[in-house]
Amino acid sequence: MKLEITVNGRAVSADVPPNTLLSAFIRDHLRLTGTHRGCDTSQCGACTVIANGRSMKSCSVVVGQMQGAAITTIEGLAGKDGELHPMQAAFKECHGLQCGFCTPGMIMSSVDLLTHHPHATKAEICELLEGNICRCTGYENIVKAVQTAQKKMSA
């Protein structure tokens, strides 16, 4: 199929089988390797991107469903000048990562979380991030990073 989508603000047109997973298209065709493929069963959240303003696990959708969509990956989150998005900066500042495998998906989910729940409490942040698995940090610094970004994003 002829796929036409926007990825990180750039129009993309490609001929791909319609059953290609979005995560595979992003990584293998576009070479945007920040979107990680962890489980391919939408359990871990490492492949999370923002599609049409909502976070989604890119391993659970095929490109045939994404015609005309606007996708943002972790590579598209920073400013054009390379300045980190407040969420990226907060993860760095608060040590919200260790091995880094879950980090892109965790950051994308956290951006979506604060976009749609800007006044989320700590308990709500924990609940809304349940779909992302981190095997390293114990989540405390991740939640701290989201709360730090929350202050910066609301200012």
The domain limits of the chain are 2-76, 86-154
Structure tokens at 42: 């939408």
Residue with tokens 């939640």: 143
Find the mean pLDDT for residues 39-54: 91
CATH architecture of 86-154: Orthogonal Bundle (1.10)
φ/ψ of residue 124, rounded to 5: -70, -40
Q: What is the pLDDT of residues 91-148, one digit of tens each?
A: 999 999 888 889 999 999 999 999 999 999 999 999 999 989 988 877 899 999 999 9
- CB-count exposure of residue 65 (10 Å: 0-12, 13-18, 19+): exposed
d(CA 50, CA 56): 6
Superfamily, domain 2-76: Beta-grasp domain (3.10.20.30)
pTM confidence score: 0.93
With a CB cutoff of 8 Å and minimum separation 6, the contacts of 121 are none
Find the mean pLDDT for residues 28-48: 91
